[in-house]
């Protein structure tokens, strides 16, 4: 009997980062430094150990808040992904088959990330391919990149080759992101495609496709 592995945990979309808290931190550190220099002239003596420590703390706060505000102002990378069956609606046994994994970019902060594809009753080539890295015989990692030139709704598509195991009644693919953060995440969480054997026609039919929304 054909059964698919459980889905990974559903991912949650998080709010976009805001530069405002870091801007406020920058202003607070700057105001404190100015007040100390005006109210307490002894802080102007830069050779005192106490003053050196205070200079260092203020400098760290200013640099940290500036960097974090800049990072937040760059936005985030948000994408949709889906599987396209190149031989839809049929796959045949005892031959090399392929499908496409596509990412469509909704927000385009430059980034690189991997999509993981797990499979049931399917084998991928053991050697690294141009478009992906094998994790084991039934799982691979597919690299996607968002560049400075990537625009809203641009797509990147990778072709994945595989072989169906012999004498199985069905097989499936499950795709999900390897890493998720508050600046890099998908608009959905798990994409699953299942196929079942059609004994009358001697090929595998697509039986279901499921995209789990967060």
pLDDT in tens, the chain (214 residues): 333 333 333 344 445 566 677 777 778 878 877 887 777 777 667 667 777 787 888 888 888 877 777 766 666 788 888 777 655 567 888 888 888 888 888 877 888 889 999 999 999 987 777 778 888 889 999 999 888 778 878 888 998 889 999 999 999 988 888 887 767 767 765 678 888 998 888 888 877 555 544 4
Question: What pLDDT does residue 1 have?
Answer: 36
Single out the residue in 41, 73, 105 at which a domain terminates: 73
The domain in which residue 58 lies consists of 20-73
Question: What pLDDT does residue 186 have?
Answer: 78
In sequence order, the β-bridge partners of residue 212 are 190
Q: SS3 of 35, please?
A: helix
Single out the residue in 33, 57, 73 at which a domain terminates: 73
Question: What pLDDT does residue 42 have?
Answer: 74
Residues 147 and 82 reside in one and the same domain: yes
Residues 59 and 105 reside in one and the same domain: no
Domain count, the chain: 2
Residues 145 and 67 reside in one and the same domain: no
Q: Give residue 202's region: left, alpha or beta (phi > 0; psi -120 to 50).
A: left
- Of 177, 119, 115, the residue nearest 143 (C-alpha): 115
Residues 150 and 67 reside in one and the same domain: no
Residues 65 and 82 reside in one and the same domain: no
Q: What is the CATH number of the domain that holds 120?
A: 2.60.40.10
Q: Enter the tokens of residue 29.
A: 């550190």
Query: Which letter, b or e, does each residue of 129-154 get, where b requires 16 or more Cβ atoms within 10 Å of its Cβ?
Result: eebbebeeebebebebebeeebeeee
Question: What pLDDT does residue 188 have?
Answer: 64
| Integer angstrom CA distances of residue 7 from 4, 54, 66, 172 | 9, 52, 40, 12
| Sheet-wide strand order for 111-120 | 90-91, 203-212, 190-198, 170-177, 111-120, 139-146, 132-136
Residues 43 and 97 reside in one and the same domain: no
Residues 85 and 189 reside in one and the same domain: yes
- Of 112, 94, 118, the residue nearest 173 (C-alpha): 118
Question: What pLDDT does residue 117 have?
Answer: 92
Report if residue 15 sits inside a domain.
no
Question: What pLDDT does residue 189 have?
Answer: 56
Question: What pLDDT does residue 212 have?
Answer: 46
Q: Are 145 and 181 in contact (CB under 8 A)?
A: no
Residues 50 and 66 reside in one and the same domain: yes
Helix pair angle (20-39, 49-73), 10° resolution: 160
């Amino acid at each position: 009997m054909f059964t698919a592995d459980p889905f990974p945990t559903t991912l949650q979309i998080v709010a976009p980062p805001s530069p405002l808290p870091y801007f406020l931190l920058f202003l607070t550190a700057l105001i404190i430094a100015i007040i100390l220099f005006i109210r307490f002239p002894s802080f102007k003596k830069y050779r005192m150990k106490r003053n050196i420590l205070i200079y260092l703390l203020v400098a760290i706060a200013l640099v940290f808040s500036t960097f974090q505000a800049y990072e937040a102002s760059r936005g985030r990378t948000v994408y949709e992904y889906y599987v396209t069956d190149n031989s839809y609606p049929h796959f045949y046994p005892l031959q090399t088959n392929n499908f496409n994994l596509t990412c469509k970019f909704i927000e385009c902060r430059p980034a690189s990330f991997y999509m993981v594809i797990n499979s049931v009753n399917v084998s991928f080539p053991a050697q690294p391919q141009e478009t992906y890295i094998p994790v084991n015989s039934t799982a691979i990692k597919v690299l996607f990149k968002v560049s400075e030139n990537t625009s809203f709704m641009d797509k990147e598509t990778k072709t994945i080759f595989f072989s169906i195991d012999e004498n199985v009644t069905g097989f499936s693919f499950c795709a999900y992101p390897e890493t998720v953060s508050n600046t890099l995440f998908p608009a959905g969480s798990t994409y699953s495609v299942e196929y079942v054997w059609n004994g009358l026609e001697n090929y595998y039919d697509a039986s279901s496709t499921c995209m789990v929304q967060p």
